[in-house]
Amino acid sequence: MLFINLTRQNEIGANSYYLEIENKRMVLDAGLHPKNEGEAALPLYKAIPVESLDAILVSHAHQDHIGSLPVLMRRFPDARVFMTYPTARLSDVMLHNSVNVMSRQRDELGLHAYPLFTHREADRAVQLWQSVAFQQYWTIDGERVSEPNPEPSFEMFSSGHILGSAGILIRGEGKRIFYTGDVNFLEQTLLRKANFPCEPVDVLIIETTRGDRQLDPNYSRRNEEQRFLQALEEALCRGGSVLIPVFALGKTQEVLTMLHLFRERGELQEVPIYIGGLSTKITIVHDQLAHLAPRQHENLQILDSISPYVLNRSDIQTTQINRKRIYALSSGMMTEKTLSNRLADRLLSDPKKSIFFVGYADPDSPGGRLKSARPGDLVQLDENLPSREMKCDVQEFDFSAHAPRELLIDYVRKVVPRLIFLVHGDLPALSWFKERLVQELPSATVIIPEPGRHYKFN
Ligand SMILES: [Zn+2]
Ligand SMILES: [Zn+2]
């Protein structure tokens, strides 16, 4: 068996991993780096040591896991591509949106390599994907089987992170190899927690996103929802508007579900709610697939219940923000030129306005800089915008779609792997897990896999 980490650095960037077992060659995930540009945004596909691949297995539809899938498929046209049906539907929307973003970047930043693929290529890619359901056995050659034989075979398990997200169990050479993808072991407002295998595995490839943060022992989703509700009500009672920067896929639907439940219980006043165009498309997929997802509120149709207004790029500078309004706009990290970035620039110096963060923001991103700023600090959200004094109310809430580190450690203890690869984390997070797992499981080998290096084992 051979494992190669195809990311360019040990970080949460463009996720992709090469795995060879019983002469079958596969790649797990095909991400695109959210911050890098051009070739540097792609995984190290040149480090794949073979001319052809048998399969590409996709864990979920976030950009850092599917963003370069058409590029990988172009390099390996014979590879079969597997993912869950919701992941396929969401990836279709995400990849086409990505072509639009890259085309704009080509014009604005002069990036001649962009777009890295075209709408037509994305369309062709979508046609070739094969969808699989949770807890079905499939051979790497694409045959559904009633038992996990012949090997190597794979099986997907709900990972509780976003709609369609999966952990992938691969059986081969008499071994069990489990890739967690992005996972959440806690119930979210909309999505149910992961349903992962409990039997021992030999090799575990595990995400470590939250390794740098201890879970507050008093944390509960319910309490956090209440705190969020109170903050919203206070802001609206002041006559203010609230911006909630969110990822279009996952966090938007979680926040809209919360707002709907608050309103339904009569706890939140009726004010206009705004979302972006991409979020609307993605929410439509959530509504269409409500019956297919392991989720709470199975009959909830989010768009009908919330009736949000849709804000486009052209409206963002002119939309009236004087009265009570809630804006759930992407991107979650307030990346330059996105809707949340532009609106935040308009709210920043107004003490009546609020910005509520509900998820992770890279410390170097505009959202990360704003989170760490204090009232009165000068904040610049884009190099083309002026620095402004921060006078608005900025608060943070924890609605993470990733498992707290303590629960990841519990899972590792349960499946007692003899070999553990730590991935999808920044260095402090990876180091914490390594140190902790060496103590917890002294007989296991714990590796932070160097990009491009070959790890062979029997
Ligand atoms: Zn994800
Ligand atoms: Zn991820």
> What average pLDDT does range 17-30 have in this prediction?
97
Residue 151 pLDDT: 84
Cα of 161 vs centre of ligand 1, distance in Å, is 7
Q: Residue 16: nearest ligand to its CA?
A: 2
pLDDT at 454 over 90: yes
Cα of 274 vs centre of ligand 2, distance in Å, is 26
Cα of 253 vs centre of ligand 1, distance in Å, is 14
Cα of 291 vs centre of ligand 2, distance in Å, is 25
Residue 255 pLDDT: 98
pLDDT at 127 over 90: yes
User: How many Cβ atoms from other residues are within 10 Å of residue 126's Cβ?
Assistant: 17
Query: Which uninterrupted H or E stretch holds 83?
Result: strand 80-83
Percentage of the chain beyond pLDDT 70 is: 100
User: d(Cα 32, Cα 413) in Å, to the nearest integer?
Assistant: 31
User: d(Cα 336, Cα 382) in Å, to the nearest integer?
Assistant: 6
User: d(Cα 119, Cα 165) in Å, to the nearest integer?
Assistant: 24
Q: Residue 424: nearest ligand to its CA?
A: 2
Confidence of residue 335 (pLDDT cuts 50, 70, 90): very high
Residue 302 pLDDT: 98
> What average pLDDT does range 279-296 have in this prediction?
95
**Mean per-residue pLDDT over the chain, rounded:** 96
Instruction: Please list, in sequence order, all residues whose beta carbon lies within 8 angstroms of the beta carbon of residue 123, skipping any fewer than 6 positions away.
Output: none
DSSP conformation class of 159: -
For the stretch 66-99, pLDDT in tens is 999 999 999 999 999 999 999 999 999 999 999 9
For the stretch 441-451, pLDDT in tens is 999 999 999 99
pLDDT at 321 over 90: no
Cα of 143 vs centre of ligand 1, distance in Å, is 27
From the centroid of its chain, how far is CA 393?
27
pLDDT at 425 over 90: yes
> What average pLDDT does range 94-105 have in this prediction?
95
Q: Residue 209: nearest ligand to its CA?
A: 2
Residue 361 pLDDT: 86
Cα of 43 vs centre of ligand 2, distance in Å, is 14
Ordered by where they begin, the domains of the chain are 2-213+401-456 (3.60.15.10), 221-396 (3.40.50.10890)
Contact at 8 Å (CB) between 25 and 44?
no
State the maximum Cα–Cα separation within the chain, in Å, rounded to a whole number. Answer: 65
Residue 320 pLDDT: 86
In order, the DSSP letters of 349-411 are T-TT-EEEE-S---TTSHHHHHHH--TT-EE-SSTTS--EE--SEEEE----SS--HHHHHHH
Confidence of residue 363 (pLDDT cuts 50, 70, 90): confident
Q: Residue 161: nearest ligand to its CA?
A: 1
Burial class (CB in 10 A: 0-12, 13-18, 19+), 233: middle
Residue 191 pLDDT: 97
Contact at 8 Å (CB) between 32 and 98?
yes
The Cα-based distances of 352 to 15, 270, 371, 392 in angstroms read 40, 19, 18, 6
> What average pLDDT does range 263-267 have in this prediction?
97
